[in-house]
Amino acid sequence: MCRHIAYVGAPLALEELLVRPEHGLYRQSWAPRRQRYGTVNADGFGVGWYAGDDPAPARYRRTGPIWSDPNFADLARVVRTGALLAAVRDATEPGADGEAAAAPFSAGRLLFSHNGAVREWPRSAAPLAERLPARALLGLEARCDSALVWALVLHRLDRGDPAGEAMADTVADVAAAAPGSRLNLLLTDGETITATTWGDTLWFRHTPGRSTVVASEPYDDDAHWREVPDRTLLRADRTDVQLTPLKEPQ
């Protein structure tokens, strides 16, 4: 369910990360190599990026498959950025909420994506929604499982939890309420990347002091890609990558 990618490093054109690589996110929309669930990611796509000194990222999201949007190629060719988060979507419930359900979701400087599915959706939504204040529920951008997971993460961030703790605790809460859920989460503020593996693939490629890419799967066959073990929290920036095992819910 879905493929996503985050990058922090030297400024690049969007196409250099998403379109030009032989197995980039663009191609992963119809021919992923390591996706465990689903085969085509055609239920929407989105890319968020950071520009200059503007504290808030820009987003470009659409309902259909990335290959059907003639404007995306021009956008990807001319826009340069030192940080991005992008995703192609295979929806848990196709057709729901249109582009509002396409990652990345955003708040302030943050961009977020969820690769996976909350088990037994939407029945499992009720016990999870009870953890949120009314304002957060009313502010949900979409009614899909990913939007609710983002609201749970954001609620923890708003109360002051560090990004890694907010992501890990949200994964534990959702996994306890809906066992069997797949919860690969990806978050960036333009300087750091935080991610979880819980039921699907995740890889990273790190060039010390220069850049870090975190993605559902490698976009080329470079030998420097490293697979992240399942049940892991990843925290990274341009200079370092840290991996910490996640605990199973009690």
Q: Which CATH number fits domain 3-114+185-245: 3.40.190.170, 3.60.20.10, 3.40.50.880, 3.30.200.100?
A: 3.60.20.10
Active site residues: 2
pLDDT of residue 95: 57
CA pair distance 35, 180, nearest whole angstrom:
17
Q: What gap in Å lies between CA 98 and CA 242, rounded to an integer?
A: 35
User: Strands 211-215 and 203-207: what pairing?
Assistant: antiparallel
The answer, as to whether pTM is greater than 0.75, is yes
Q: Could you state, in chain order, the average pLDDT of each consecutive group of 10 residues for the chain (250 residues)?
A: 93 97 95 87 94 92 93 95 96 73 96 96 91 92 94 97 98 96 98 97 95 97 97 97 91
Amino acid 65: pLDDT: 93
- Which residues contact residue 57 at a Cβ distance below 8 angstroms, ignoring those fewer than 6 apart? 48, 49, 50, 51, 83, 104, 106, 109, 111, 190
